[in-house]
Amino acid sequence: MKPTGKEVEPKDRAFGQKIKQIRQDRGLTQTDLAARMGRTSSWMSQVERGVQKVDRLDVLQGLSDALGVSVQQLRPGAPTASEPPHQPDVFKSNNLDEARTLISGHPAIGTLLGALHSAPGRSLTELSEDVDELWQLTHAGAYADVTARLSELLPALEQTVRSVGEQDRAEAYLLLARMYQATAAAFQRQDAADAAWVAADRAIWAAELSGDPLHVCAGVYRMVHAFVRLQKLDQAEHAAQTAIQALVEANAHSRLSQDGMSVLGSLHLALALVYARARDRTGARTELEAARQVAARMGEDRNDFNLEFGPTNVEIQAVSTAVELGDAGEALDLGSSLNTDALSSERQSRLFMDLGRAHAQRRQAGEALDCLLRAERLNPEMVRGHQAARAAIKELVLLKGAQAQPELIDLARRADALE
């Protein structure tokens, strides 16, 4: 990872020493403990030196879970729940379970054994319309409908690419790539990162066979997000940097098209997320600025490759990055004046979700609940299935305790955040 800049004075030395002692008593290295939390060793080192202050309830809870102690043992006086520490279930059921099962086997076996010489059941024009509809459902967060559409579309496209004529094969593979990109995006937004990884890998393979390098890079973008959700930050960083370098070099030889700039800018945003998760403030801000420069050159919000890249989406990501870094005030300043009406409900919902998280960080329970409810109205399945949203909702319940509003308790039940 990139260096985090000049060292700062310890903010919480006593807390850091307590963490270090408990870790050592349990025979854990800093790397072991960091891995349990999905953090980097450098972040854990900063915590133990008192440089990185830990005062957010969700981070404190994660640290206590990783050490096998109570929150009160780490931070006396912190809000606690009556139930035992929550252990996130990465296999939590959602509306994409059937889709996960669908892609778990090799999709071409049936075609290879019995349908190599059969004609495609649908025309490429019809299949293209189906892929467009799949993306619309993904952006809308209609994941049950995504599963229903995939059950027919995936086998049809897998058969088509193996039976269509040579003159149409590149177009067919491009449709297959776009379908798998949509599938990866849907899985990623429902915290099904393992399935998102599979779908993104197939999208990259199909895009390469189509001969479209920009769609290959769009597939890499989906894979980066899968790696982030899987807490494979080194792999995410490498994948993003490799694609960015290739696009920058291509642009140096011949100026990238607008859709190529969309991919480049989106990859900068993805890399900013990687650095934010690693608590690399300098790296995250550097990548955000690079994305802003790309967006300024484009001058408009676009939806090339269903990436929704442009000036507005850069600022939405800036809000999200600020929240990840614990800069709640900055997130609220950036997000309060954004107009996202032209973007999908998924992007609008994501902004309200992150604003809700920012208010939660500042212990502004009423404002946080309002934002989270607005996010849910726009895209209910994403909010209820998003790990960060569930963590913020649970934090609000802990904060309010017996004074929690009925609306908050109802939201927590819908999001399964009362465990």
Q: For 147-158, how does the pLDDT look when each residue is reduced to its tens digit (9 = 90+)?
A: 888 988 998 898
One domain, residues 403 and 277: no
Instruction: Please give the Cα distance from 346 to 308 (Å, whole number).
Output: 10
Which single residue is written with the structure tokens 């900055």?
A: 330
Instruction: Please give the Cα distance from 120 to 223 (Å, whole number).
Output: 29
CA atoms within 13 A on the CB side of 95: 22
Residue 133 domain-assigned?
yes
* Residues whose CB is less than 8 angstroms from the CB of residue 218 and which lie 6 or more positions away in sequence, other chains included: 181, 203, 207, 263, 266, 305, 307
Among residues 327, 358, 382, which one ends one of the domains? Answer: 327
Among residues 305, 327, 349, which one ends one of the domains? Answer: 327
Instruction: Examine the pLDDT at 83 and tell me if it is beyond 70.
Output: no
Instruction: Please give the Cα distance from 41 to 24 (Å, whole number).
Output: 15
Residue 370: pLDDT band with limits 50, 70, 90: very high
Instruction: Please give the Cα distance from 157 to 103 (Å, whole number).
Output: 13
Residue 79 domain-assigned?
no
Q: Any idea what the CATH number is for the domain that residue 373 is in?
A: 1.25.40
98-107 mean pLDDT: 79
Residue 374 confidence (pLDDT): 94
One domain, residues 352 and 418: yes
Residue 81 confidence (pLDDT): 44
One domain, residues 274 and 384: no
Q: Any idea what the CATH number is for the domain that residue 64 is in?
A: 1.10.260.40
pLDDT in tens, 396-414: 988 888 888 899 999 999 8
CB 363 within 8 A of CB 399: yes
Residue 6: pLDDT band with limits 50, 70, 90: very low
Q: Which amino acid is at 48?
A: E
- For residue 257, the 8-state DSSP code is P
Residue 243 domain-assigned?
no
Give the best-scoring range by mean pLDDT among 17-21, 32-36, 39-43. 17-21
One domain, residues 117 and 208: yes
Residue 396 domain-assigned?
yes
41-66 mean pLDDT: 78
One domain, residues 180 and 294: no
One domain, residues 313 and 346: no
- For residue 264, the 8-state DSSP code is H
Residue 204 confidence (pLDDT): 97
What integer best gives the mean pLDDT of the chain? Answer: 85
Residue 8: pLDDT band with limits 50, 70, 90: very low
Instruction: Please give the Cα distance from 416 to 391 (Å, whole number).
Output: 10
Instruction: Please give the Cα distance from 243 to 329 (Å, whole number).
Output: 33
One domain, residues 281 and 160: no
Residue 162 domain-assigned?
yes
One domain, residues 259 and 155: no
pTM of the model: 0.74
268-280 mean pLDDT: 93
Give the best-scoring range by mean pLDDT among 135-149, 150-164, 221-235. 221-235
What are 252's two structure tokens? 């140096």
Residue 113 confidence (pLDDT): 67
One domain, residues 110 and 67: no
Residue 83 domain-assigned?
no
Residue 91: pLDDT band with limits 50, 70, 90: very low
pLDDT in tens, 112-142: 666 444 545 678 999 999 999 999 999 888 8
Backbone φ, ψ for residue 314 (5° rounding): -60, -45
Number of domains in the chain: 4
pLDDT in tens, 334-359: 998 899 988 888 899 999 999 999 99
Instruction: Please give the Cα distance from 304 to 258 (Å, whole number).
Output: 8
The count of other CB atoms within 10 Å of the CB of residue 202 is: 22
One domain, residues 105 and 219: yes
Among residues 327, 354, 387, which one ends one of the domains? Answer: 327
31-44 mean pLDDT: 76
Residue 80 domain-assigned?
no
Residue 69 domain-assigned?
yes
Residue 195: pLDDT band with limits 50, 70, 90: very high
One domain, residues 69 and 104: no
One domain, residues 30 and 70: yes
Instruction: Examine the pLDDT at 210 and tell me if it is beyond 90.
Output: yes
Residue-number span of the structural domain to which 150 is assigned? 97-231
